[in-house]
Amino acid sequence: MPIETVFEGKVKYIQVIDKDGNADEKLDPKLPKDLLLRMYITMVVTRMFDDKALKLQRQGRIYTYPPCLGQEAAQIGSIAALNEEDWFFPSYREHGGYLWRGTEMKWMFVYLMGSELGMKIPEGKHNFLVSIPIATQTLHAVGAAWAAKILNHKVATMVYFGDGATSEGDFHEAMNFAGVFKTPTVFLNQNNQWAISVPRKKQTAAKTIAQKALAYGFEGVQVDGNDVLAVYRATKEAIDKAHRGEGPTLIEALTYRMSHHTTADDWTKYRDSAEVEQWKERDPVKRFRIYLERNGYWNEDLEKKTVERATSEIEKAIEEAESMKLDNPEDVFMYTYSKMPPHLVEQMNELMEYLKNKS
Catalytic residue list: 257, 261, 270
Minimum CB–partner distance for residue 75 and Mg ion (Å): 13
DSSP type of residue 88: E
Show the site string, 181-220: x = touches ligand TPP by CB under 6 A, - = not. -----------x-xxx------------------------
Per-residue burial over 138-148, b = 16 or more CB atoms within 10 Å of its CB, e = otherwise: bbbbbebbbeb
* Comparison of 155 and 188: residue with beta carbon closer to ligand TPP: 188
Q: Which does 307 bind (CB under 5 to 8 A by kind): ligand TPP, Mg ion, none?
A: none
Q: ∠ CA 346-348-354 to the nearest 5 degrees?
A: 100
- What is the secondary structure of 189-244 as a DSSP string? EEE-SEETTEEGGGT-SSS-STTHHHHTTSEEEEEETT-HHHHHHHHHHHHHHHHT
Minimum CB–partner distance for residue 267 and ligand TPP (Å): 11
Show the site string, 114-133: x = touches ligand TPP by CB under 6 A, - = not. ------------------xx
Report the residue from 50, 72, 116, 163 that binds Mg ion according to the rule CB under 5 A. Answer: 163
CA distance 138 to 157: 10
Minimum CB–partner distance for residue 172 and ligand TPP (Å): 14
Q: Which does 133 bind (CB under 5 to 8 A by kind): Mg ion, ligand TPP, none?
A: ligand TPP
CA distance 87 to 346: 35
Minimum CB–partner distance for residue 168 and ligand TPP (Å): 6
Report the residue from 77, 97, 164, 225 that binds ligand TPP according to the rule CB under 6 A. Answer: 164
Q: Does 23 sit near ligand TPP (CB under 6 A)?
A: no
Binding residues for Mg ion, per CB under 5 A?
162-163, 192, 195
